[in-house]
């Protein structure tokens, strides 16, 4: 059979299995087993056992459940309420006023969460009722929240970065450092959009509910101290070179438990709820990773990645052409799969092509996170859209429509990072030199 026929057969098999309601991880493993059994001489069962053990026992992967647990603990504390109290007074003078709390709140929480859905849900729980009560335009409140929630993937620590680092054999600590400037840049783009929109619609933003003196603002900022200390402990330990990403995740869990205890929100129930929530989410991700790892091995035996890389090289796409083609490919893929599945499912096939095109894998990691962020707000599977639909009971199509400007801003961010790659690579180089 030709490569095209084999690829078509396996893609059809994958969609049939997924369509029948089988879990994604099992569907990936099933397709890998079919591919290996039909088109390779290696025994599929033996290969599956070795690959799944290798994928699930990686030490680097230990950071993943720890960061998820840290996010779950913080999800159950008063951290988000305190963040709103600390941020709101500083936003009153900016055009758009408290709409900016959505974006800055998501950026800050992203630095201790690692998950897009958790960032969107936690900040949404706090800002949606507050901004609704004050009469802010609903389309802007929900649109900015959906877009800014994706910062959970880009601003370290990031679950997707850990998954990419493991898949592409790239240093996770370097990826975390590389994500800082692009994360800040995207938050600034979102805030600039809110400012311009507010200036164009002057009557849409309600007046400030009260004026604060400078000292009052500083006094209210005390609510931000716990979260700032936690960010410094987690990211500072990585940047200072005293902890690996896995050790920093352990510091984050201990820090979040201490924070929850001091706030009085940690008891037996919340502790077990956070532990079980993290276990459930990690088991889902681990199963997807194992299935995808086996599928990557199966594809390797069949020879599809090599042939695909040769085919793309044969088309003669420039680096920019390849980046644009991959962006379109991932956005389409995001209509059917969640971010983690997209990364682990495609890395084995895409990486040889990317390396052949001479693209830096560290830079490519940040690019992948940006395009996966777009997929988080692409219907029908966009995770952030689901989270907001559950919280607001709005139509998915309406939420997607009000989020569209954020989607365009992410395309602008991808182009900026492509034409100015130092946005992603400058900070890791400084850390290496230091």
What is the full DSSP assignment across 31-63?
Answer: HHHHHHHHH-SS-HHHHHHHHHHHHHT-GGGGH
Who wins on pLDDT, 412 or 392?
Answer: 412
Q: What is the mean pLDDT of residues 229-234?
A: 85
- Please give the Cα distance from 34 to 157 (Å, whole number): 36
Q: What is the rounded distance in angstroms from the CA atom of residue 256 to the CA atom of residue 242?
A: 19
pLDDT at residue 308, as a whole number: 66
For the cut 80, the answer to whether the pLDDT of residue 311 exceeds it is: no
Distance, C-alpha 151 to centroid of its chain: 7
**Residue 39 burial (CB < 10 Å; 0-12/13-18/19+)?**
middle
Say whether 1 sits in a helix, a strand or coil. coil
CB-count burial class (<10 Å; 0-12, 13-18, 19+) for 156: buried
Amino acid 366: pLDDT:
95
Mean predicted lDDT score pLDDT of the chain:
83
Q: What is the largest CA-CA distance in the chain?
A: 75
pLDDT of 102 higher than 70:
yes
CA nearest 375: which of 419, 417, 343, 421? 343
Q: How confident is the model at residue 415 (pLDDT cuts 50, 70, 90)?
A: very high
- Split into its structural domains, the chain has a count of 1
pTM above 0.85, yes or no: no
Q: What is the pLDDT of residue 433?
A: 54
Q: Report whether pLDDT(305) > 70.
A: no
* Nearest residue to 163 (alpha-carbon basis) of 368, 358, 322: 368
Residue 196 in this model has a pLDDT that exceeds 90? yes
State which residues form the domain around 118.
3-433
Which range has highest mean pLDDT (39-43, 179-183, 245-249, 345-349)?
Answer: 179-183
In terms of average pLDDT, the best of 238-242, 362-366, 394-398 is: 362-366
Higher pLDDT, 185 or 27: 185
Rounded CA separation 92/101 (Å): 10
- Percent of the residues in the chain that have a pLDDT greater than 70, as a whole number: 95
Q: Please say if the pLDDT value at position 184 is more than 80.
A: yes
At 381, is the pLDDT very low, low, confident or very high (cuts 50, 70, 90)?
low
- Nearest partner of 261 among 270, 251, 250, judged by Cα: 270
Of 161, 160, 181, residue with least CA distance to 421: 181
CA dihedral 363, 369, 374, 376 (to 10 degrees): 180
67 confidence band (pLDDT: 50, 70, 90) = confident
pLDDT of residue 365: 94
- pLDDT at residue 402 greater than cutoff 80: yes
Respond yes or no on whether the N-terminal peptide bond of residue 380 is cis (omega within 30° of 0).
Answer: yes
Q: Are 411 and 147 in contact (CB under 8 A)?
A: no
Structure confidence at residue 189 (pLDDT): 96
Query: What pLDDT score was predicted for residue 432?
Result: 67
């Amino acid at each position: 059979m030709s490569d095209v026929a084999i690829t078509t057969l396996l893609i059809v098999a994958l969609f049939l299995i997924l369509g029948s309601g089988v879990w994604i991880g099992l569907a990936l493993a099933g397709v890998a087993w079919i591919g290996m059994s039909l088109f390779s001489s290696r025994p599929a069962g033996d290969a599956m056992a070795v690959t799944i053990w290798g994928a699930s026992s990686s030490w680097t992967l230990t950071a993943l459940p720890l960061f998820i647990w840290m996010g779950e603990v913080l999800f159950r504390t008063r951290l988000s309420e305190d963040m709103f109290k600390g941020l709101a007074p500083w936003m009153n003078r900016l055009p758009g006023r408290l709409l900016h709390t959505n974006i800055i709140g998501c950026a800050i929480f992203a630095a201790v969460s690692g998950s897009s859905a958790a960032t969107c849900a936690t900040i949404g729980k706090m800002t949606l009722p507050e901004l609704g009560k004050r009469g802010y335009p609903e389309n802007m409140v929900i649109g900015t929240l959906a877009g800014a929630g994706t910062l959970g993937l880009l601003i370290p620590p990031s679950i997707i970065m850990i998954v990419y680092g493991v898949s592409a054999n790239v240093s996770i600590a370097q990826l975390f450092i590389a994500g800082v400037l692009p994360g800040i840049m995207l938050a600034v783009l979102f805030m600039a959009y809110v400012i311009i929109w507010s200036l164009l619609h002057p009557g849409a933003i309600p007046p400030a509910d009260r004026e604060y003196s400078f000292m009052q603002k500083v006094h209210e900022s005390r609510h931000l101290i716990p979260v700032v200390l936690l960010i410094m402990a987690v990211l500072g330990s990585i940047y200072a070179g005293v902890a690996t990403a896995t050790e920093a995740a352990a510091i984050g869990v201990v820090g979040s438990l201490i924070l929850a205890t001091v706030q009085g929100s940690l008891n037996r129930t919340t502790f077990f709820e956070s532990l079980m929530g993290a276990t459930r989410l990690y088991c889902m991700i681990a199963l997807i990773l194992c299935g995808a790892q086996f599928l990557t091995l199966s594809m390797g035996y069949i020879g599809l990645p090599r042939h695909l890389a040769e085919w793309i090289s044969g088309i003669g796409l420039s680096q920019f052409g390849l980046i644009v083609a991959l962006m379109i490919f991932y956005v389409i893929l995001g209509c059917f799969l969640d971010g983690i599945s997209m990364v682990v499912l495609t890395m084995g096939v895409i990486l040889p092509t990317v390396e052949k095109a001479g693209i830096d894998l560290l830079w490519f990691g940040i690019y992948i996170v940006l395009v996966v962020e777009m997929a988080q707000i692409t219907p029908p599977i966009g995770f952030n859209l689901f989270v907001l639909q559950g919280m607001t009971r709005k139509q998915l199509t309406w939420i997607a429509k009000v989020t569209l400007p954020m989607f365009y801003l992410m395309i602008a961010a991808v182009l900026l990072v492509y034409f100015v790659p130092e946005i992603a690579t400058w900070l890791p180089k400084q850390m290496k030199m230091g």
